[in-house]
Every structure is written in structure tokens, then in C-alpha cells.
Amino acid sequence: MDSIEKEQLIEARDYLKKLLLSINRVKLESFLSEFTEKFGIKCLINDLIFPSLQSIGKLWENGNLALSQVYMAGRLCEETVPHLFKEKKEISRDFPKIGIVNLEDHHPFGTQLLEIFLKTRNINPILYPEGITVEELYDKIIDDKIEILLISTLMLRSALKIKNLSQKLKKSNKHVKIIVGGAPFTFDPELWKKVDADAMGMNPFDILELITHQMEEEK
């Protein structure tokens, strides 16, 4: 695989955002396929799609995009990306129960992409509804016997509420590992510790490694 230059990557991200926001499915599929062929699936996910979707989310946060545009961008990726993985990879038959959630946020792209990625590894997480509150989420992860919870947030105020969930679980003696990600944690690399999370993941490949690490710790 070729390595990508910084200027190329900036141009590629700008072009991807343009295709996503204009809902140009044909050109999007062609562009992503060519990019993957040249630079590889890991570069596509980590360096192109994830940062581009975060940038789109930031535009919405600043009032420059409608939420429907953010939703469609995530939806297009959800429908397009799985076809770029040549084969599913077996990870473990004894995989823990994993939950994915946007905590008190209404953007879908972070969790959508993560769910897609995990499924290409034959991991089937439970995806919780967008905008769910701490109280609602607590009840669901207890009912579903979740062992690892992946939380994505776009807003800082949502990220700070993770601490309430973590403390609530600990008080109930529920051993749920919390891995966080999203814009607030990118801006403040120490934030995950402040909200009592167990780890922070910057992208899907990162998070897969963290999940595997958490599994090894439990052995």
C-alpha cells in the first residue's frame, strides 16, 4: 500500500465531506474504493472517514449544518463501508457482550461506523438509541448484561455525564468496562480519566485493540 501525504489527506477529507453532504452515492462509492485500493482499509477508516465525520459533526454543533445532513452522512458511510472489507475476520467465539451508545447526543455517525467495523470482525454489539440518558442507559446495560460499553459523544456536556454513569455502576457493584471516544476526548486527551472511563479510543482499530486488551485482563 502507498503512504499518503498530509496535503493529499486534507484534500481527500474535503472531497469526502463534499460527497457526503451532496449525497452523491455513485461518486462516493468510487472514491472510497479507489482510496482503499491505494492506501488500505485502515487508512480509510482511521485517517479519512472518522476525521471527516467528526468535522461534519462539528459543523452541526456550530450551527452550520442541519442534523438531517449529519444523519445522512453517517448513513451513507454505513451503507458503503462494509463492501470495502474483503472478508470478515474471526476474533473470538467467547467475545464479551458489547454495547455502543451516543450518550445524550443525537448524532449517529460515530456509533454507526463503529458498529459496521465490529461486524466486519464478526462481533455483533448492541446499539442503543441515540440521545439516551444516563438513567435509561443504566437500566438497559444491566438488563442486557453488558460487559464492555463503548460511548461516543459530540458535546462536552454529554461527555461529562459519563462520570455519573460510571459512578452509578460502581455503586451497584456492576463490572462494566467503559471505553470512550469522540470530539471532546480528542480535544482533551486526559478527559477520559476525569469521567472515570477505563480507556479512550481514537478510531475503530484503536477501540478493537482496547477491547481485546480488556478481554485479556479479565482472563
Give domain status of residue 93, yes or no.
no
Q: All 3 cell numbers of residue 151?
A: 460511548
Residues in the chain: 219
Q: Is residue 140 domain-shared with residue 186, that is, in the same domain?
A: yes
Q: For the chain, how many structural domains are there in total? A: 2
Identify whether residues 192 and 109 lie together within a single domain: yes
Which of these three, 84, 118, 152, is where a domain ends? Answer: 84
Instruction: Tell me, yes or no, whether 106 and 211 share the same domain.
Output: yes
Whether 62 and 135 share a structural domain: no
For residues 106 and 208, state if they share a domain. yes
Q: Which are the contacts of 107, defined by CB distance < 8 A and separation ≥ 6?
A: 57, 60, 67, 70, 71, 74, 130, 154
193 and 105 assigned to the same domain: yes
Residues 106 and 61 in one domain: no
152: its cell numbers = 461516543
105 and 193 belong to one structural domain:
yes
The model carries a pTM of 0.76
CATH number of domain containing 41: 1.10.1240.10
Task: Examine the domain organization and report whether 113 and 45 are in the same domain.
Answer: no
Domain that holds residue 47: 6-84
Residue type for position 77: C
113 and 171, same domain (yes or no)? yes
Alpha carbon distances (Å) from 50 to 67, 73, 125: 18, 11, 19
**pLDDT recorded at residue 10:** 93
**Maximal CA-CA distance, the chain:** 51
Q: What is the CATH number of the domain that holds 199?
A: 3.40.50.280
What pLDDT tens digit does each residue of the chain (219 aa) get? 567 888 999 999 999 999 999 999 999 999 999 999 999 988 998 889 888 887 887 787 788 988 788 888 888 887 888 778 765 555 555 678 999 998 877 666 667 778 878 877 778 899 998 878 899 999 999 999 999 999 988 788 999 999 999 999 999 988 899 999 988 898 899 999 999 999 999 888 888 888 888 766 665
Do 137 and 110 fall within a single domain? yes
